[in-house]
Structures are given as C-alpha cells and as structure tokens.
Amino acid sequence: MNPLSRPLPVSEFPRSFASALSNLTAWLDELEDSNRVTAPPTSSDSTLLDALLIDIWLAGGTPGAPGLARASPEQSRFRAEAGPRFWRSAVLRRCWEKPRGYAGDFLMMEALYRRTPTGDTPMERWLDAWALELPGFQAVRNRRDLLSGMLLAEHARGARRVMNVASGSAPELVAVAREVSFERVTLLDQDQGALDAALTHFTRVGALPATRHDALRLWCGSVLELLRKRSELSPASQDFIYSIGLYDYLTERFAHNLTAKLWAGVAPGGLLVLGNFNAHNPMRHFTESALDWYLIYRDPEDLLRLVEGLPGVAEAQVRTEDTGCLHLLVARKAG
C-alpha cells in the first residue's frame, strides 16, 4: 500500500510536529479564502510561509539535523496533508509528478527561466508565484546567467568550440547567441525533446542562419555512452566544456570518471565548469519532502576533489551563486 494513503493518526506524532503541520495547512487554507491570494505574494506572507515550513523541518527532524527523513511517517504525513496544497502550483506539480521520468526536465527548467506564474485559480497562481521565487529556483537562474557571462568571457579569450553536457534546451547559450558566434557548439542530452527545443530557440533568436547549421551538433545520448565510447569526445577537441544540472545526480565514482573524460576533451588553455547544489541550501528539505526530489550534494572541497590529480590543471576554484544554494567548479587547463 502506498504509505501516502495511510498517514499515522495524529496522536502518534510528537505534538510539535502535528501542530506545526496543522499550522501550515490552516494558514494555506486561510490564505486561499482571503483577498491576499488575488495579488502576488507579499514579502510578509512569503516570510511567514517559509517560517511555517522551517517549524516543520525542526519539529520533524532531530536536534541539529532538521528535515523529514526519507519515507518516515512524518514525511508521509506531510505529503498527504500539505503536498496536495503545494502541488497546485504548476511548477511544483511537475517536479512532483515527473512526467518525463525525472524532476528537472527541460520543460520544468524553462518554467523556472520564464518566471511567469500560471494557474486557473488565484490560489494556483499565488502558489506558483511563491514557488518560482524559492531560493533553489533562483539559484538555477543565477547559474544560467553566470554561464552566459562565462561564455562571453571565453569567447573573448578566443574560445570557439563549446560543449554543454546535459544541456537541456541550453538557455545560457541561447541568451548570448546573438552576441557571439561559436564555430562549433555541441549539446549533449539524453532527451531529444530538450535538443529540439534548443534548436527552436536558436532559430527563434536568429542564431542559426542556414550556412551555419552544421556548427550545432545535437547529440542525443547519455553521458554513460560518453564514458563507454571513447571516440565520441576527442581529446583536446573543446575550448569550453560545462555541465550544469547533471552532477547533482552522479555518484562519486561516476562523477570522477566523467570529469576525467570531460577534462581530456578540454583543449590546452580551455575551461571546464561543473555545477552542483550543496546540502546547506535552504530549499533542500522542501525539495526532498514536498517534491520527492533528492540530489547528491557537493561542497566546494568535494568539487575540487573531482579535478585533483588530473593532468594540466592550471587553476581550479569554486564560485557560489548569490543565493548560496549551488556551486560552480571552474577549472582552467594549462595552455
């Protein structure tokens, strides 16, 4: 039986968890009945909702370790009672339902980038507006913007061959496509729909005149194949390789092997950039408990270890975007 369908009775929960949860659901119901829901979330309502959630993570966790343990009765109960209220937000519902088999599909990512709340009712739109401003989602937008800046900077340094691994619809490249022209752009993603969307976006911004069509390589496949078929990524064939939104799913061993493979593909003087959420990000408990979306988190030292010992590392540093939710490993190969 699905644990969601049989939450424990109230009396079996520590009182503070049960009351924290009922405070949250009562507040959401009160909001829905109020006029406030017809306008975008005010900062006081957003702050209050954040605080109500923090109460739940504190009450449902252990001292020093807030959050609801995976598959715990508290988490099941949270999902049964609070879940359906949050999933009225279109973006949160997509994360929860995972219609393409995983949470961060390109359509969900595009919703984050568009940042336009949708919904049929005021409450649906309110929740979507609130969700789109969550720190982890802002971090994704910040990451895109940082990458766009790096693309411009690397182009100015002479980079002409770029590869985006687990590209989605490549919004950071689309954003700069009118400003800079790379000779060769390789997008690798397991989802053909994401690659089709990227092509549509490049065409829409006028970045793909017919004569330059061959400059774009759309490579539908898994990074697993990249590791197995050694010929697919020629050594030193790229000036800039980056991957954002993939390493959060890779185990240590896989991440190491893939990093070595990508590093070999970077030409002398080139750049490798890898993004990863960290475990301290304030959205973590919500993502795990409300959305059943678990990531493999990395701190700066974990990211730096990925390039430790690789040949020709001239410089490796970690940058953190403004919300503090995620890091970017930035490694330069000796020229």
- Choose one: 38-46, 83-91, 238-246, 291-299; the region binding ligand SAM (CB under 6 A): 238-246
List strand residue ranges (DSSP E) for 132-182, in order.
Answer: 161-165
**Binding status of residue 194 toward ligand SAM by CB under 6 A:** yes
Q: For every residue of 119-141, which 3-state class applies, written as one string? A: CCCHHHHHHHHHHHCCHHHHHHH
Structural contact between residues 75 and 84, judged by C-beta atoms closer than 8 angstroms: no
CB of residue 312 vs ligand SAM: minimum separation in angstroms? 26
- Of 67, 135, 168, 265, which one interacts with ligand SAM (CB under 6 A)? 168
- Of 83, 104, 136, 265, which one interacts with ligand SAM (CB under 6 A)? 104
Alpha-carbon distance of 175 to 207, in angstroms, equals 10
**Binding status of residue 148 toward ligand SAM by CB under 6 A:** no
**Closest to ligand SAM by CB, 83 or 245:** 245
- Choose one: 36-44, 166-174, 179-187, 252-260; the region binding ligand SAM (CB under 6 A): 166-174
Residue in 151, 210, 232 with CA at minimum distance from that of residue 185: 151
Alpha-carbon distance of 94 to 88, in angstroms, equals 10
**Binding status of residue 186 toward ligand SAM by CB under 6 A:** no
- Choose one: 26-34, 58-66, 184-192, 287-295; the region binding ligand SAM (CB under 6 A): 184-192
- Of 162, 174, 246, 255, which one interacts with ligand SAM (CB under 6 A)? 246
Tokens read off for 310: 């690789």
Q: Return the C-alpha torsion angle 97, 101, 104, 106, nearest 10.
A: -110
Structural contact between residues 243 and 222, judged by C-beta atoms closer than 8 angstroms: no
**Binding status of residue 126 toward ligand SAM by CB under 6 A:** no
Backbone CA torsion sign across 80, 81, 84, 89: negative
Instruction: Count residues binding ligand SAM (CB under 6 A).
Output: 17
Structural contact between residues 40 and 114, judged by C-beta atoms closer than 8 angstroms: no
**Binding status of residue 106 toward ligand SAM by CB under 6 A:** yes
- Choose one: 104-112, 207-215, 256-264, 314-322; the region binding ligand SAM (CB under 6 A): 104-112
Backbone CA torsion sign across 101, 103, 104, 109: positive
Binding mask 207-226 for ligand SAM (x = CB under 6 A): ---------------xxx--
User: DSSP 3-state assignment of 162?
Assistant: strand
Alpha-carbon distance of 332 to 257, in angstroms, equals 18
**Closest to ligand SAM by CB, 72 or 320:** 320
Structural contact between residues 326 and 146, judged by C-beta atoms closer than 8 angstroms: no
**Binding status of residue 166 toward ligand SAM by CB under 6 A:** yes
CB of residue 146 vs ligand SAM: minimum separation in angstroms? 11
What is the number of other CB atoms lying within 10 angstroms of the CB of residue 158? 9
**Binding status of residue 191 toward ligand SAM by CB under 6 A:** yes
**Binding status of residue 265 toward ligand SAM by CB under 6 A:** no
- Of 75, 148, 167, 186, which one interacts with ligand SAM (CB under 6 A)? 167
**Binding status of residue 189 toward ligand SAM by CB under 6 A:** yes
Alpha-carbon distance of 324 to 319, in angstroms, equals 10
Q: Which residues bind ligand SAM (CB under 6 A)?
A: 104, 106, 109, 166-168, 171, 189-191, 194, 222-224, 244-246
